[in-house]
């Protein structure tokens, strides 16, 4: 019972307690008063209060009834199934303080028998739930057991169709909160989180509820905002040390709008073992270019990066505010190279920032980008017919259909086509994009 009550939200717990006041049960003349219910803050206290007042079996029947009344049919069904499995092992639950009944065939056992709701013709209203006690020997007891299970199965089947939407929605919400809680906890503990880790969580959630997560509507941007805030300081110490040892490094900044607020997501690229590495740096909300510049100064100083001497480039998504940030950074670093790509920004982030995107996909794309820089574009559109990667004019294995790949050791630029400038000695590389409105090298 406690496990089921723990799955109820605060609002549903209040509704649950309120419905308990409307229940009349068998020989119990009085229901549980409002005072004791208000004092039972913890769910385990609430369960003890119900069992202490009605007894174990009667208390379970009351809880099942009330859960149905507040449209928590999936929890009611879950508790019913657990109750039936327990009854099959030992049919009767002893009330609190009662002695163990005699198990001989001649013994009489008190068995609650459900009585159908009847209409009171005098008062013109429906009577409340009522159970009566009936003594029976072992033979009758078995018949009652089968009858009770049959009635329970019929009630469950009749309610499943009408309440399917509520069950689906509540389950999706619970799974969603579970994923957010897991990511949030791991980030606070500074445990290494990768896109693979997040993907495993999402895959697990989908395996539990199929594709139902793609249709949830109650997911709010504030949950993403909470996760992003908790991730703002997560960067592994070995990455910080690698950036400090790198002869130069660059900073990439991308703007997002989440929960009605503007956010800037920062990445850092550095040299390690002769290769260019890119890692998530930090994230913060901002109001203008000055606040972004001040945040970049602050985060680079906190991490011990010698940015006045080693900051070589600033890359952005081409937003006007980012162009202003580049101008402010050049005041401290006159040799800074700034590179903006507005066309790339228009294609890629628009895919997951659009209002028509399903909440689950929006969550996955937004949070995943924190851990994985744009080594592979997230832009996938029906009017992109295909992409081919060429070396010395011959097609080679490259990105998949409808994926634009930006390799970390290739500076890139997008105007009306995609062009790569490879490192010296690697041959002549080019990329052909087949588009419904554009075709070219």
According to the model, what pLDDT value does residue 86 have? 52
Please tell me the predicted confidence (pLDDT) of residue 361.
53
Residue pair 33/74 in contact by the 8 Å Cβ criterion: no
Contacts of 163 (CB under 8 A, 6+ apart): 71, 73, 74
Domains and CATH numbers, the chain: 2-162 (1.10.533.10), 166-230 (no CATH), 237-361+364-371 (3.30.420.40), 380-440 (no CATH)
**What contacts 246, CB < 8 A, 6 or more positions away?**
270, 271, 272, 310
**For residue 334, what are the contacts with CB-CB under 8 A and spacing of at least 6?**
none
Nearest to 65 by CA among 166, 152, 132: 152
194-203 long-range CB contacts below 8 Å, 24 or more apart? 194/371, 194/372, 195/368, 195/371, 195/372, 198/364, 198/367, 198/368, 198/371, 199/368, 202/360, 202/364
**Residue 181: predicted pLDDT:** 58
pTM of this prediction?
0.35
In DSSP terms, 126 is beta-bridged to: 119
> Under a CB-based contact definition with an 8 Å cutoff, are residues 112 and 131 in contact?
yes
CA-based torsion, 380, 384, 386, 387: positive or negative: negative
Contact 93, 86 (CB under 8 A): yes
Residue 433 confidence (pLDDT): 52
Q: 21 Cβ partners below 8 Å, 6+ apart?
A: 31, 32, 34, 37
Q: What is the pLDDT of residue 130?
A: 39
pLDDT at 437 (0 to 100): 47
Structure-token match 């399917």, residue found: 164
d(CA 363, CA 224): 7
Burial of 322-350, coded b for 16+ CB within 10 Å and e otherwise, reads beebbebbeeebeebebebbbebbebbbe
pLDDT (tens place) for every residue of the chain, 441 residues total: 777 787 787 778 877 887 776 665 544 456 777 777 777 777 777 887 777 777 777 777 778 878 877 777 778 777 776 765 554 443 333 433 334 444 444 444 444 444 444 444 444 444 444 333 344 445 544 554 455 444 444 444 444 444 444 444 455 555 555 555 555 555 555 445 555 555 555 555 555 444 444 433 334 455 555 555 555 555 567 788 888 888 888 888 877 766 567 778 788 888 888 777 877 777 777 888 888 888 888 888 888 888 788 888 888 877 788 888 888 988 888 778 776 664 444 333 444 344 444 544 544 554 444 434 333 333 333 333 445 556 666 666 544 333 333 333 333 333 233 444 444 555 555 555 554 444 444
Task: Give residue 274's pLDDT.
Answer: 75
For residue 136, which of 105, 115, 96 has the smallest C-alpha distance? 105
Rounded to whole angstroms, how far apart are CA atoms 267 and 9? 38
What is the C-alpha separation between 24 and 45, in angstroms, rounded? 21
Spatial CB neighbours of 115, under 8 Å, sequence gap ≥ 6: 130, 131, 132
- pLDDT score recorded for residue 302: 83
What is the structure's pLDDT at 268?
Answer: 82
- How far are the Cα atoms of 5, 24, 40, 71, 216 from residue 37, in angstroms, in the given order? 14, 16, 5, 20, 33
């Amino acid at each position: 019972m406690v496990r089921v009550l723990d799955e109820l939200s605060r609002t549903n717990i209040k509704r649950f307690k309120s419905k308990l006041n409307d229940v009349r049960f068998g020989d119990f003349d009085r229901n549980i008063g409002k005072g004791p219910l208000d004092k039972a803050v913890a769910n385990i206290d609430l369960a003890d209060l119900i069992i202490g007042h009605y007894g174990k079996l009667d208390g379970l029947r009351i809880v099942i009834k009330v859960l149905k009344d507040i449209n928590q049919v999936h929890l009611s069904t879950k508790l019913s199934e657990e109750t039936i499995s327990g009854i099959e092992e030992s049919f009767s639950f002893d009330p609190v303080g009662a002695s163990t009944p005699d198990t001989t065939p001649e013994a009489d056992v008190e068995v609650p028998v459900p009585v159908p709701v009847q209409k009171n013709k005098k008062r013109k209203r429906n009577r409340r739930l009522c159970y009566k006690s009936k003594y029976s020997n072992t033979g009758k007891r078995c018949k009652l057991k089968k009858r009770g299970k049959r009635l329970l199965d019929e009630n469950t089947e009749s309610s499943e169709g009408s309440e399917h939407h509520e069950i689906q929605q509540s389950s999706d919400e619970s799974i969603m909160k579970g994923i957010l809680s897991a990511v949030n906890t791991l980030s606070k503990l500074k445990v290494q989180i990768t896109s693979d880790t997040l993907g495993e969580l999402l895959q697990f959630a989908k395996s539990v509820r199929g594709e139902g997560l793609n249709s949830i509507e109650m997911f709010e941007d504030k949950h993403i905002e909470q996760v992003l805030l908790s991730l703002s300081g997560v960067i592994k110490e070995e990455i910080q040390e690698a950036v400090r040892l790198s002869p130069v490094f660059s900073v990439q900044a991308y703007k997002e709008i989440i929960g009605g607020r503007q956010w800037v997501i920062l990445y850092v690229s550095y040299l390690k073992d002769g290769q260019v590495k890119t890692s998530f740096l930090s994230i913060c909300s901002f109001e203008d270019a000055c606040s972004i510049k001040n945040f970049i100064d602050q985060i680079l100083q906190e991490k011990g990066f010698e940015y006045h001497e080693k900051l070589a480039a600033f890359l952005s998504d081409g937003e006007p505010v980012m162009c202003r940030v580049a101008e402010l950074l050049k005041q401290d670093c006159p040799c800074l190279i700034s590179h903006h790509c507005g066309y790339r920004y228009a294609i890629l982030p628009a895919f997951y920032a659009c209002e028509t995107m399903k909440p689950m996909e929006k969550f996955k794309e937004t949070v995943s980008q924190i851990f994985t820089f744009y080594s592979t574009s997230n832009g996938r559109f029906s009017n992109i017919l295909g992409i081919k990667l060429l070396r010395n004019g011959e097609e080679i294995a490259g990105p998949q259909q409808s994926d634009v790949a930006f390799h970390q050791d290739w500076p890139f630029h997008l105007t009306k086509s995609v062009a790569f400038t490879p490192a010296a000695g690697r041959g002549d590389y080019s990329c052909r994009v087949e588009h419904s409105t554009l075709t070219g090298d």
